[in-house]
Amino acid sequence: MLDLKAIRSEPEKFLRLLEAKGAAENLNRLLDLDYQRRQLVTKTDELKSLRNRVSDEIARLKRAGAAAEDKIKEMKSVSLQIKEQDEQIRSLEEQIHQILITLPNIPHASVKIGRSAADNEVVKIWGEVPTYDFPLKDHLDLAENLGIIDFKRAAKISGTGFPLYVGDGAVLERALVNFMLDFHRKKHGYREVFPPFLVNRDSAFSTGQLPKLEEDMYLTSEDDLFLIPTAEVPVTNIHRDEIIPENKLPIKYVAYSGCFRREAGSYGKETRGLSRVHQFNKVELVWFTIPETSYDVHEKLLQDAEEILQALNLHYRVVSLCSGDLSFAAAKCYDIEVWAPGTGKYFEVSSVSNFEDFQARRANIRYRRSGDNRVGYVHTLNGSGVATPRLMIALLETYQTDEGTIVVPEALQPYTGFSLIKTTV
């Protein structure tokens, strides 16, 4: 959530940056309500001060045996006015809060101003585009021919968008998760957690999914719990309503979770095979750090996520998102896009985001400085390290052979126990 005091002190800056995210329409209304509230608070405080002074005077008059009825009558009127104005203040505060929770984070100064993904910038390319001397298949044909992913039976079980991994496909999927968890835990020093896959409204609000993205989430209405769209949600909320000593920062977690997304706004987008599914697996990286170091951490987090693709020797690029393509909560974001040669396109497998103090304000996650004991908000960051469906697309298509088999990358072989996937149907 944005800082109202900061908006009040630099309204033109926030208007410009919110316009860059296409979300400035309610800012003037917010400032007007805030002005009304502050004016009313001043008037109400003056009346309360008057009531306190006159109440003392009434007490003195009573002790002296003097008449105080006129002043008592006057203070009843003042008290009624105070009550009415307090109610108006509460109403204004609620209106202000309702606008604040719908305002997105503002983009960092280094973010390019742009309208859509067409304005994003490629900032890094790793590896060479692989070449082949035989006709390529896409992941859907490969998976069906090998009998490792059964989309038809999955649709019978649950509906479209729910893959069913079978045999070596199931083993490969599990191998990817275990490989990534071990990689980040052992090489990068992340602390592993295994979070709940259902969260309450407070948790979903804290990370910015609510209220804006509720239609994209699966809700268990009887318990009012949401299936998580990413482990970012439960892991960030580990420290909700806490004050962390500065000497405990940074904190960095790695977590596996199933992820569930209705993708309510994704009609018309590419949905073939694994490219856009409602249930998938992901390894998530989450950091809590002090504000002064968060953009150094952002670069480190990006590097940690990239190293997964490097270890699997998959060609990829890193894209810096423009203002119009940033998520609701992000101040800056890199997308890592892996190349899928059979499909002939790049697929996003990780978004690496710095939220600055936006989530921390919503979740009330603070830290106490070592030097002066002052309390401030932490900065939170997260990145997929990485999501498996599109990684699986790239892996199957990159490592296919002219015989229709799949070579298992060397880094995964200790986890699969085999080096080649061949027809098992």
Mean local confidence (pLDDT), 116-126:
97
Looking at the structure, tell me whether residues 328 and 391 fall in a common domain: yes
- Tell which of 54, 69, 100 closes a domain: 100
Q: CATH code at 229? A: 3.30.930.10
pLDDT of 267 > 60? The answer is: no
pLDDT of 66 > 90? The answer is: no
- What is the pLDDT at residue 263? 75
On whether residue 109 sits in a domain, the answer given is no
pLDDT of 194 > 70? The answer is: yes
- Spatial separation of the C-alpha atoms in residues 200 and 211, rounded to whole Å: 13
- Spatial separation of the C-alpha atoms in residues 422 and 407, rounded to whole Å: 9
Looking at the structure, tell me whether residues 174 and 55 fall in a common domain: no
Looking at the structure, tell me whether residues 239 and 379 fall in a common domain: yes
DSSP E strands in 70-151: the ranges are 121-126
Looking at the structure, tell me whether residues 151 and 267 fall in a common domain: yes
On whether residue 334 sits in a domain, the answer given is yes
pLDDT of 62 > 90? The answer is: no
Q: Which residue has the tokens 């268990």?
A: 220
- What is the pLDDT at residue 245? 98
- Interval 397-418: pLDDT, tens: 999 999 999 999 999 999 999 9
Looking at the structure, tell me whether residues 60 and 122 fall in a common domain: no
- Interval 284-342: pLDDT, tens: 999 999 999 999 999 999 999 999 999 999 999 999 999 999 999 999 999 999 999 99
Helix axes 27-64, 11-20, angle to 10 degrees: 140
On whether residue 188 sits in a domain, the answer given is yes
- On whether the CB atoms of residues 378 and 288 are closer than 8 A, the answer is yes
Strands ordered across the beta sheet of 198-199:
198-199, 225-227, 219-220
On whether residue 251 sits in a domain, the answer given is yes
SS3 (DSSP) at 95 = helix
How far CA 66 is from CA of 53, 54, 62, 140, in Å, comes to 17, 14, 6, 94
On whether residue 47 sits in a domain, the answer given is yes
- Tell which of 45, 73, 100 closes a domain: 100
Looking at the structure, tell me whether residues 160 and 68 fall in a common domain: no
Burial call 298-325: b when 16+ CB within 10 Å, e when fewer: bebbbebbbebbebbebbbbbbbbbbbb
Looking at the structure, tell me whether residues 80 and 178 fall in a common domain: no
- Interval 154-188: pLDDT, tens: 999 999 999 999 999 999 999 999 999 999 999 99
Question: Any idea what DSSP says for residue 230?
Answer: S
What is the enclosing helix (H) or strand (E) of 81? helix 69-100
- Spatial separation of the C-alpha atoms in residues 423 and 168, rounded to whole Å: 10
- What is the pLDDT at residue 272? 75
Domains held by the chain: number: 2
Mean local confidence (pLDDT), 38-64:
92
Q: From 100, 110, 137, 92, select the one nearest 340 (Cα to Cα).
A: 137
Please state, for a pLDDT cut of 90, what percent of the chain lies above it: 91
Q: CATH code at 36? A: 1.10.287.40
At 271, the pLDDT band (50, 70, 90 cuts) reads low
Looking at the structure, tell me whether residues 69 and 148 fall in a common domain: no
Looking at the structure, tell me whether residues 59 and 170 fall in a common domain: no
- Interval 8-48: pLDDT, tens: 999 999 999 999 999 999 999 999 999 999 999 999 999 99
On whether residue 279 sits in a domain, the answer given is yes
Write phi, then psi, for 292 (nearest 5 degrees).
-65, -25
Looking at the structure, tell me whether residues 83 and 122 fall in a common domain: no
- Tell which of 34, 65, 100 closes a domain: 100
- What is the pLDDT at residue 265? 52
Please state, for a pLDDT cut of 70, what percent of the chain lies above it: 98
- On whether the CB atoms of residues 119 and 15 are closer than 8 A, the answer is no
Please provide the average confidence, as pLDDT, over all residues in the chain.
95
Mean local confidence (pLDDT), 210-225:
95
Q: Is the pTM of this model over 0.85?
A: yes
On whether residue 150 sits in a domain, the answer given is yes
pLDDT of 264 > 80? The answer is: no
On whether residue 83 sits in a domain, the answer given is yes
Looking at the structure, tell me whether residues 193 and 60 fall in a common domain: no
pLDDT of 86 > 60? The answer is: yes
Segments forming the whole domain that contains residue 52: 4-100
Looking at the structure, tell me whether residues 154 and 30 fall in a common domain: no
- What is the pLDDT at residue 67? 84
Residues that are catalytic:
261, 276, 348, 351, 390
